[in-house]
Amino acid sequence: MKAEFLTEGGERKPIVMGCYGIGVSRLVATTIEQHNDADGMKWPMSIAPYHVHLCTIGKEENVDVAAKKLYEDLQAQGIEVLWDDRDERPGVKFKDADLIGIPLRVVIGAKGLAEGKIEFKPRAERDGKKSEMMLLEGAANELASRVKAALAK
């Protein structure tokens, strides 16, 4: 570029510059490189695009009502939620959830709701370990506590 500056003595010298910053795209790439498994990404809670991946299973109205309430309750507590309400089979949703790598996955379906429960599983533990059933009543507070505890680490 032939950019130059003048010294105090009036001598012309070339400007030597460098940019060695680490941008967002590099951060995403290095994070994924360090936090992944055969099924996809495993976002750390502190930089995850969402904290909770909410998957609804089935077309029953009570499933949508329960999911909407949980979604709103979590957001009211500052928890970022990705709600997958697509008309897809559970396996497709679960595979996509693993690929995306949101730290916490919550599944609401008619079968669990019949017992007043939802399914919960951290992404870091989706490697064959069983999911945990959680009471729907109080689930927003429990999930928010888990997110906040992970963020505090």
The answer to whether position 54 is within a domain reads yes
Closest CA to 102 of 25, 30, 35, 29: 35
The answer to whether position 62 is within a domain reads yes
Structural domain boundaries enclosing 42: 37-152
Give the range among 49-53, 93-97, 130-134 with minimum mean pLDDT.
130-134
The answer to whether position 67 is within a domain reads yes
Strands 52-57 and 36-37 come out as unpaired
Strands 36-37 and 4-6 come out as unpaired
Predicted pLDDT at 18: 76
Rounded-to-integer distance, Cα 125 and Cα 3, Å: 54
Rounded-to-integer distance, Cα 52 and Cα 29, Å: 21
pLDDT at 116 over 70: yes
Token reading at 148: 């906040």
The answer to whether position 21 is within a domain reads no
Rounded-to-integer distance, Cα 61 and Cα 8, Å: 77
The answer to whether position 31 is within a domain reads no
The answer to whether position 26 is within a domain reads no
Predicted pLDDT at 127: 58
The answer to whether position 60 is within a domain reads yes
Q: What is the pTM of this model?
A: 0.82
pLDDT tens by residue, 34-87: 999 999 999 999 999 999 999 999 999 999 999 999 999 999 999 999 999 999
- How far from 77 is each of 72, 105, 109, 116, 146, CA to CA, in Å? 9, 17, 23, 22, 12
We report the CATH number of the domain holding residue 84 as 3.40.50.800
The answer to whether position 71 is within a domain reads yes
Domain count within the chain: 1
